[in-house]
Amino acid sequence: MSDHAANAPSSSAPKSRTVSPDDPVPGVAHVVLVMSGKGGVGKSTTATNLALALSRSGYRTGLLDADIYGPSIPTMLGVTGRPVSTDGKTIEPLERFGLKMMSIGFLLEDPKAAVIWRGPMLTGALQQFLKDVAWGELDFLVLDLPPGTGDVALSLSQRLGVSGAVMVTTPQPVATDDVYKAVSMCRKVNIPILGIVENMSWFVDSAGVKHELFGKGGGQAVADFSEAPLLAQIPIDQSVREWGDKGTPVVQAAPDGEVGKAFMKLAEEVVTAVNAKADAGGDAGPVIDRSGGGGGRRRLPVSK
Ligand SMILES: Nc1ncnc2c1ncn2[C@@H]1O[C@H](COP(=O)(O)OP(=O)(O)OP(=O)(O)O)[C@@H](O)[C@H]1O
Ligand SMILES: [Mg+2]
């Protein structure tokens, strides 16, 4: 209790993320999965900008690209180097914009080669990989998961105390149908849903007219189904893709733009959700704050 922030209510002792003896990342306070049952909805964009927004907000943050089928985070972060090992045992994460980063794609000799690892091989490799990376002490480790039904999340959750999942969807039913399956799977394995991100919610044209290209209401519908909050609605904005391709995520390139602000707000909401889960006696990990010193076992001053 000694390192609680002064504003932490004395009645709520900080919960610890369940760290089993073989937990691969014992120095990490919160593990947040960014996932969706659906491909191409913006998981990697969300994971990258969320991680960077957390880092810009003062949290020690790492980002793991766990998508061996299509690792995209090195491109989105403009990382060209390969990780190195200084002691022959652990791999040093790469760093960009103050964010620690690692991609399972670095394991591939040829990133353009087809990968035929099947589920169990992938999750085995992922767990080993998580363990081998010298993440050090982090407040947040954000995992960008591959698309699919969630077998990766499922087996990860058996070894790794996961704080919760951020579910990404787009507004239209053809996307939300798949996301419901991912939510149900998380329920089965007790991964809390921290909340929903609705991406590509609308597009504002040069005349300032808002177009809901993919319809509306999908994010809220998934939130209702999940009994979790709709954390953010991210508009379609050409700059998101352009900055992603250039290797400077939009939250870094234009933090004060509409999308940049939306991702900064998302980070705030994720911290609030993690604190709420901890308050509710869940497994979401310790409550934390960013006031410096003492690591990640304190409470964030949550803005109301
Ligand atoms: N809000 C947005 N506005 C404009 N472009 C976007 C937005 N969100 C994502 N994109 C673009 O859409 C494409 C797909 O996004 P992303 O790679 O993040 O999706 P994904 O869910 O990770 O895909 P996959 O299932 O293949 O892993 C990327 O080119 C990205 O830059
Ligand atoms: Mg992706």
Return the higher-pLDDT residue of 226 and 67: 226
Nearest ligand to the CA atom of 103: 2
User: Residue 199 CA: which ligand 1 atom is closest?
Assistant: 1
Averaged pLDDT, 175-201: 91
CA–centroid distance, residue 70 to ligand 2 (Å): 7
Domain ranges of the chain: 28-279
Q: CA distances (Å), 68 to each of 26, 49, 125, 151, 230, in order? A: 23, 20, 10, 14, 28
Q: What pLDDT shows up at residue 110?
A: 65
Q: For a substitution probing ligand 1, which of 38, 44, 212, 266 has the most ligand atoms within 8 Å of its CB?
A: 44
Nearest ligand to the CA atom of 36: 1
Q: What pLDDT shows up at residue 232?
A: 97
List the residue whose alpha carbon is closest to atom 1 of ligand 1: 236
List the residue whose alpha carbon is closest to atom 29 of ligand 1: 241
Q: Which of 64-73, 270-279, 282-291 has the lowest mean pLDDT?
A: 282-291
Q: What pLDDT shows up at residue 118?
A: 62
Q: Is 260 in the pocket of ligand 1 (CB under 6 A)?
A: no
Contacts of 97 (CB under 8 A, 6+ apart): 52, 55, 56, 77, 248, 252
Domain 28-279: give its CATH architecture.
3-Layer(aba) Sandwich (3.40)
**pLDDT confidence band for 301 (50 / 70 / 90):** very low
**pLDDT confidence band for 116 (50 / 70 / 90):** low
